[in-house]
Amino acid sequence: MPLALYALTAGAFGIGVTEFVIMGLLLEVSADFGVSIAAAGLLISGYALGVVVGAPVLTVLTARWPRKTVLLALMAIFVAGNAACALAPSYGLLMAARVLTALAHGTFFGVGSVVATSLVAADRKASAIAIMFTGLTVATILGVPLGTWIGQHLGWRATFWAVTLVGLAALAVIALLVPKDGRPSDVGDWRADLAAILRAPVLLGLLTTVLGYAGVFAVFTYIAPMLTGISGLAPAAVSPVLFVFGGGLVVGNLVGGRLADRSLLATVFGTLAALAIVLALMTPGLASPIAAVALTGLLGMAGFATVAPLQMWVLSKAEGAGQSLASSFNIAAFNLGNAVGAWAGGAVIEHGPGLAAVPLVAALFPLAAIAIAAIAARAGRPALGTAH
């Protein structure tokens, strides 16, 4: 794999830290601003909705820019947004800063996915995407537990200052290692590209992505209060358990990419089924601290095994559309799933059967995703198949 691919991984690492680190700091943020845990959880939904809006809009607005210039500009937005989070004096301004930071997310991964696939042979494209997304998994293994530890000992604002420094480092690495190819994004007539993306095969794939990731984030958003309030773990144990989750992400991400290079259809169905099973087992499993830790790792593995296959599928099926725009839409779909999941989990906590029931309710989302994928597979023009 070319060195430039790992520069993209560095950028993904920085973005991954700021996306996920808030999960380990919900208790601290809610206490500081005097809001409920569910309200603090909406900071995840706000970020995700920022990605949903920013992904297609910024992809179109930067379509004529060279791809490296786009990536550098997005990392600059990322740095500014995290500094604003660290300085936010109120819950509302923290939410606004999170949304600002999120604007860079979708287009970075959308354009980055296209750059990654352009660097390798046709039979390695899904694996190349998986390697770029490994930055997210490493962020979860190293960044989120470390950020949680910093937030618990030095205050949550210190965590966002640390993430700002990570963003500056990622900006420098991309500037040094990603080649200046001078090529713009492939978004031409965005209306024609949008019409192509709105075809049924692509829409069904995007809906599959939304539902699958809603299941992951309905649970992961509230993993800290689950581990402390249900499993009986001490707050100090949350960071080590997040290491386990991150380890599962790495394994699932790389395995999912490798399997998708062989059979995209089987990988999409298999990973979604595995995710539904893990989520269903978490409701009884959370009663045991040992089982809770093991299932947290399995959640990361099953959840992230779907990333490269779903991203590769959208790239391969968005025929006639600019791939950067199609890729960005799928990143938006992942994050719309994040927002839906965080909201659904909060609704179960505040208005439903409570925190302990969140995983069981979350399992319904990947089951629905399997149903949508099955409809797509039976369509006259299959939406799922072998990657081209």
pLDDT digits (tens, 9 = 90+) for 322-361: 666 777 788 788 878 877 888 888 889 888 788 888 999 9
Query: Tell me, what's the pLDDT at 94?
Result: 93
Q: Contact, 128 vs 117, CB < 8 A?
A: yes
Q: Contact, 7 vs 178, CB < 8 A?
A: yes
pLDDT band at 108 (very low <50, low <70, confident <90, very high): confident
Q: Which residues pair with 184 in a beta bridge?
A: 66
Give the residue-averaged pLDDT of 200-227.
85
pLDDT digits (tens, 9 = 90+) for 47-64: 888 888 887 788 778 877
pLDDT at 364 over 90: yes
CATH class of the domain defined by 3-378: mainly alpha
Query: Tell me, what's the pLDDT at 319?
Result: 61
Q: Contact, 82 vs 101, CB < 8 A?
A: yes
C-beta neighbour count of 182 within 10 angstroms: 9
Closest CA to 165 of 236, 95, 79: 79
pLDDT digits (tens, 9 = 90+) for 128-174: 777 887 787 777 777 777 888 888 889 999 999 998 998 898 888 88
Query: Tell me, what's the pLDDT at 182?
Result: 53
Query: Tell me, what's the pLDDT at 188?
Result: 56
Handedness of CA 276, 224, 28, 249 (dihedral sign): negative
pLDDT digits (tens, 9 = 90+) for 276-289: 999 999 989 988 99
Alpha-carbon distance of 32 to 24, in angstroms, equals 14
For 338, the token pair is: 């994040």
Query: Tell me, what's the pLDDT at 295?
Result: 92
pLDDT digits (tens, 9 = 90+) for 12-53: 888 888 887 887 788 888 888 988 887 888 888 788 888 888
**Per-chain mean pLDDT for the chain:** 82
Angle at 332 between CA 90 and CA 321, to 5 degrees: 145
| Residue entry with tokens 């797509």 | 376
Considering only residues 123 and 161, tell me which one the structure prediction assigns the higher pLDDT: 161
pLDDT at 380 over 50: no
**3 state SS of 385:** coil
CA atoms within 13 A on the CB side of 123: 1
Query: Tell me, what's the pLDDT at 81?
Result: 92
Q: Contact, 93 vs 46, CB < 8 A?
A: no
Please indicate, yes or no, whether the overall pTM of this predicted structure exceeds 0.85.
no
Counted residue by residue, the chain has a size of 388
Give the residue-averaged pLDDT of 299-319.
78
Query: Tell me, what's the pLDDT at 365?
Result: 94
Closest CA to 13 of 127, 110, 142: 142
For the ranges 91-95, 138-142, 232-236, 293-297, the lowest mean pLDDT is seen at 138-142
Q: Contact, 230 vs 293, CB < 8 A?
A: no
Helices (H), the chain: 3-20, 26-33, 37-61, 67-87, 91-118, 125-138, 144-154, 156-177, 190-197, 200-220, 223-229, 238-262, 264-285, 289-304, 307-317, 323-351, 358-362, 364-378
Q: Which residues pair with 66 in a beta bridge?
A: 184
- The residues near 196 (Cβ < 8 Å, ≥ 6 apart) are 202, 318, 319, 320, 321
Alpha-carbon distance of 56 to 106, in angstroms, equals 8
Alpha-carbon distance of 342 to 223, in angstroms, equals 11
Closest CA to 185 of 133, 105, 114: 114
Instruction: Give the residue extent of every domain in the chain.
Output: 3-378
For the ranges 117-126, 281-290, 368-377, the lowest mean pLDDT is seen at 117-126
Range from 240-249, 311-320, 364-373 that averages highest in pLDDT: 364-373
pLDDT at 275 over 90: yes
Using alpha carbons, list the distances in angstroms from residue 132 to 7, 8, 296, 345. Answer: 8, 6, 23, 29
Alpha-carbon distance of 357 to 18, in angstroms, equals 27
Burial (Cβ within 10 Å: 0-12, 13-18, ≥19) of residue 118:
middle
Query: Tell me, what's the pLDDT at 322?
Result: 61
Closest CA to 249 of 291, 312, 183, 296: 296
Alpha-carbon distance of 206 to 329, in angstroms, equals 8
pLDDT at 93 over 90: yes
Query: Tell me, what's the pLDDT at 57?
Result: 83
Give the residue-averaged pLDDT of 289-299.
92
Give the residue-averaged pLDDT of 219-223.
86
Q: Contact, 222 vs 345, CB < 8 A?
A: yes
Query: Tell me, what's the pLDDT at 190?
Result: 64
- The residues near 29 (Cβ < 8 Å, ≥ 6 apart) are 22, 35, 40, 43, 94, 156
